[in-house]
């Protein structure tokens, strides 16, 4: 029988598939003759990985004893661009952006946020896609949903599927945003962001307006963001636009945590055959060029569209499906990438909401 020290040494060199690095000294072992109880402490949530990791560890350690794995996490607040002060009640803001409209940014945001919640994190979504706010609909809120207001000033975000949600759509009529110009949009968004009573969030996902114009740039400069995700399709033109997205975040020194390639392959609903209609390596070459990761690829899937449109995104309506598993994996990779961000040696204290 191996000693606990020998087992520790093996575990420390095990590669964390979510970030490609060895786990290191994050294991605690308690053992007796029959049982090995292992606790793994991570900087990101990985609840849904428990069973597969337990099996992997058991085979890796060649243990004949019963192996039980517990995964714990402690999510830290990470540095923001230019060390802008953080937001009360929010540890990390993640901006989800795309170079152009219609690539599935909102669908990706909602499923990613829900997947992160399923991994065990406290999660919120801010729908900043002012010209086409769709998070309310995708999260199943009835039309006309309004947040509660506290002291005439602070919004209590409505909850769905355990996730706190705020959207421009909760505060405006259908026609309002169309008439707004850039500064009004960014002003209103900053106000919603800072005047919402976010309740102890590990991650707040911001569904950014599509594109890389003034509004997006101003938001990227003002919102205290820990990291960003770029959603793209494999088509050349979308990739070109995605480049602008990456460059925008580079310019304001927000780490790009990865690229999500959406509508990557088409799955034939008759025979199940996968076909890469728009080519299959676009996201990878983009990621290589800018030294960022492809966090995952989603197929063009009828179920993704139908379930989102019906207010029950696929991560909650079909949690055991292959597609939901892709979103879960992307969520873990995102969390792991943020947690292991080397440029991030210090964290900033959060401040209270301002009164003006």
Chain contacts with ligand ATP (rule: CB under 6 A): 98, 101-107, 129, 132, 134, 210, 262-263, 298, 300-301, 304-305, 308-309
- Given the complex with ligand ATP, which of 132 and 311 has the nearer CB atom? 132
Element (H, E) at 337: helix 322-339
* Residue 4, burial from CB neighbour count under 10 angstroms (0-12, 13-18, 19+): middle
Question: What 3-state class would DSSP assign to 240?
Answer: helix
- Given the complex with ligand ATP, which of 18 and 233 has the nearer CB atom? 233
Q: If you ran DSSP here, which 8-state letter would residue 79 be given?
A: P
Q: How far apart are CA 257 and CA 238, in angstroms?
A: 19
Which tokens in the block code for residue 280?
């299959």
Closest CA to 28 of 5, 58, 2: 5
User: What is the nearest approach in angstroms of ligand ATP to the Cβ of residue 213?
Assistant: 13
Residue 311 annotated in ligand binding: no
- Given the complex with ligand ATP, which of 72 and 275 has the nearer CB atom? 275
Q: How far apart are CA 318 and CA 324, in angstroms?
A: 7
Residue 251 annotated in ligand binding: no
CB 113 within 8 A of CB 163: yes
- Given the complex with ligand ATP, which of 108 and 196 has the nearer CB atom? 108
- Given the complex with ligand ATP, which of 253 and 266 has the nearer CB atom? 266
Residue 101 annotated in ligand binding: yes
Q: How far apart are CA 70 and CA 199, in angstroms?
A: 26
Residue 104 annotated in ligand binding: yes
Under 8 Å CB-to-CB from 173, ≥6 apart: which residues?
none
User: What is the nearest approach in angstroms of ligand ATP to the Cβ of residue 95?
Assistant: 13
Residue 308 annotated in ligand binding: no
Q: How far apart are CA 274 and CA 271, in angstroms?
A: 9
Sort strands 159-160 and 163-167 into parallel, antiparallel or unpaired.
Answer: antiparallel
Residue 43 annotated in ligand binding: no
User: What is the nearest approach in angstroms of ligand ATP to the Cβ of residue 303?
Assistant: 8
- Given the complex with ligand ATP, which of 98 and 293 has the nearer CB atom? 98
Question: How much is the CA Rg of the chain, to the nearest whole Å?
Answer: 21
- Given the complex with ligand ATP, which of 105 and 122 has the nearer CB atom? 105
User: What is the nearest approach in angstroms of ligand ATP to the Cβ of residue 301?
Assistant: 5
User: What is the nearest approach in angstroms of ligand ATP to the Cβ of residue 289?
Assistant: 22
Under 8 Å CB-to-CB from 22, ≥6 apart: which residues?
12, 13, 14, 15, 16
Closest CA to 83 of 355, 262, 351, 316: 351
User: What is the nearest approach in angstroms of ligand ATP to the Cβ of residue 339?
Assistant: 27
Would residue 277 be called left, alpha or beta, if left means φ above 0 and alpha means ψ between -120 and 50 degrees?
Answer: alpha
User: What is the nearest approach in angstroms of ligand ATP to the Cβ of residue 304?
Assistant: 4
User: What is the nearest approach in angstroms of ligand ATP to the Cβ of residue 291?
Assistant: 24
Residue 106 annotated in ligand binding: yes
- Given the complex with ligand ATP, which of 260 and 336 has the nearer CB atom? 260
Q: If you ran DSSP here, which 8-state letter would residue 82 be given?
A: G
Alpha-helical (H) ranges within 29-129 are 50-60, 105-118
Q: How far apart are CA 13 and CA 20, in angstroms?
A: 11
Residue 103 annotated in ligand binding: yes
Can you say which residues are annotated as belonging to the binding site?
99-106
Can you say which residues are annotated as belonging to the binding site for ATP?
99-106
């Amino acid at each position: 029988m191996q000693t606990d020290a020998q087992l520790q040494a093996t575990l420390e060199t095990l590669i964390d598939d979510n970030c490609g690095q060895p786990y290191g000294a994050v294991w605690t072992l308690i053992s007796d003759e029959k049982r090995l109880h292992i606790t793994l402490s991570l900087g990101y949530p990985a609840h849904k990985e428990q069973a597969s990791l337990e099996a992997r560890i058991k085979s890796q350690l060649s243990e004949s004893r019963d192996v039980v794995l517990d995964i714990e996490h402690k999510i830290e607040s990470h540095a923001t661009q230019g060390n802008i002060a953080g937001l009360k009640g929010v540890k990390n803001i993640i901006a989800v952006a795309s170079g152009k409209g219609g690539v599935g940014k909102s669908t990706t945001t909602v499923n990613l946020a829900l997947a992160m919640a399923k991994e065990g994190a406290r999660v919120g979504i801010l729908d900043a896609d002012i010209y086409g706010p769709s998070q309310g609909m995708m999260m199943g809120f009835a039309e006309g949903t309004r947040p509660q207001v506290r002291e005439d000033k602070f919004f209590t975000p409505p909850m769905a599927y355990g996730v706190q949600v705020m959207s421009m759509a909760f505060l405006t009529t259908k026609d309002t945003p169309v008439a707004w110009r850039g500064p009004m949009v960014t002003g209103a968004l900053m106000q919603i962001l800072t005047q919402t009573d976010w309740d102890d969030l590990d991650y707040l996902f911001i569904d950014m307006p599509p594109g890389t114009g003034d509004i997006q740039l101003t938001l990227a400069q003002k919102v205290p963001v820990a990291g960003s995700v770029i959603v793209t399709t494999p088509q050349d033109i979308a990739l070109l636009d995605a480049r602008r997205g990456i460059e925008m975040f580079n310019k304001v020194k927000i780490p790009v945590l990865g690229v999500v390639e959406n509508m990557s392959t088409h799955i034939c609903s008759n025979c199940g055959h996968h076909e890469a209609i728009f080519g299959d390596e676009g996201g990878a070459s983009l990621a290589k060029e800018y030294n960022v990761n492809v966090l995952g690829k989603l197929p063009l899937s009828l179920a993704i569209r139908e379930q989102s449109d019906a207010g029950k995104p696929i991560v909650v309506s079909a949690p055991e499906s292959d597609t939901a598993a892709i979103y879960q994996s992307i969520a873990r990779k995102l969390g792991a990438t943020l947690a292991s961000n080397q440029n991030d040696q210090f964290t900033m204290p959060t401040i209270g909401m301002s009164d003006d």
